[in-house]
Amino acid sequence: MAEEALLIDLEKYLKAGVHIGTKFKTKYMSNFIYKIKPDGLAVLNLQKINDRIKLAINFLSRYNPEDILVVGRRENSWKALRAFGKATGIRTIAGRYQPGMLTNPSLEIFTEAKVLLVTDPWPDKNSVRDAVKVGIPVLALCDTNNESNYIDIVIPCNNKGKKSLGIFFYLLAVGYLTKRGTISEKEFKYTLEDFSEEQI
């Protein structure tokens, strides 16, 4: 793997465990699996993870911050989500998405979005369903056990680990802001530790 093509040092990706999948794998995710370890744990292809993060950056950078909604029900994603929202100005929901938020204009919590990113399509299925109803594209972080029905862009990764989610949202924040020309990479004032519970 050509390390210069990676968004961050290979060692940091590995330490964050971004490539560590689960013992369960779906047919949807088989293209992203590099190997199965002797203990049955699936390992995701790191180059494909990196390429899909780049794809997500390029896709999301076409949208203004107020047009993007990011949802993460699982608590492991909350710190990374909040840091991402603070850094980019993109709306994030760390916790439960309330059904109808994207579809019912009579609700006080109604919000319009042009694109949705979820940290896991299973616990975040209500937001995915609503996005499909209103016809907006859905990006999702998918582990080896996820199904990708209704997902327009699958980003394979360990979507349960705090460090893995931290590195993803850190890279997405830097990439989004620099691609839009808001800041240069050197001007990004947040550290990887701001996005993750532990040092990577």
Name the nearest CA neighbour of 130 among 115, 148, 145, 146. Answer: 115
CB 161 within 8 A of CB 76: yes
Mean pLDDT of 4-16: 91
Q: For residue 158, is it within any domain?
A: yes
pLDDT tops 70 at residue 7: yes
Helix (H) or strand (E) holding 155: strand 153-156
- Asked if the structure places residue 134 within a domain, the reply is yes
CATH number for the domain spanning 110: value is 3.40.50.10490
In a domain, 120, yes or no: yes
Let me know if residue 53 belongs to a domain: yes
Closest CA to 128 of 153, 91, 164, 157: 153
Token representation of residue 183: 């800041």
Mean pLDDT of the region 25-42: 94
User: Would 183 be classed as within a structural domain?
Assistant: yes
pLDDT tens column, 91-114: 999 999 999 999 999 999 999 999
The pLDDT of residue 111: 95
Quick check: pTM over 0.85? yes
- Cα–Cα distance for residue pair 59/84, rounded to 1 Å: 17
How far is Cα 19 from Cα 181, in angstroms, rounded to an integer?
30
Q: Distance (Å, rounded) from C-alpha 90 to C-alpha 85?
A: 5
Residue 200 lies in a domain: no
Q: According to the model, what pLDDT value does residue 26 have? A: 94
User: Is residue 126 assigned to a domain?
Assistant: yes
Structural domain count of the chain: 1
Question: For residue 30, is it within any domain?
Answer: yes
User: Containing domain of residue 54, as a range?
Assistant: 3-195
Taking each continuous run of H as one helix and of E as one strand, the counts in the chain are 6, 7
Q: In this predicted structure, what is the pLDDT of residue 197?
A: 72
Structure tokens at 22: 């689960």
Length of the chain: 200
Selection from 62, 60, 45, 59 nearest residue 6 by Cα: 45
Q: How far apart are CA 50 and CA 156, in angstroms?
A: 9
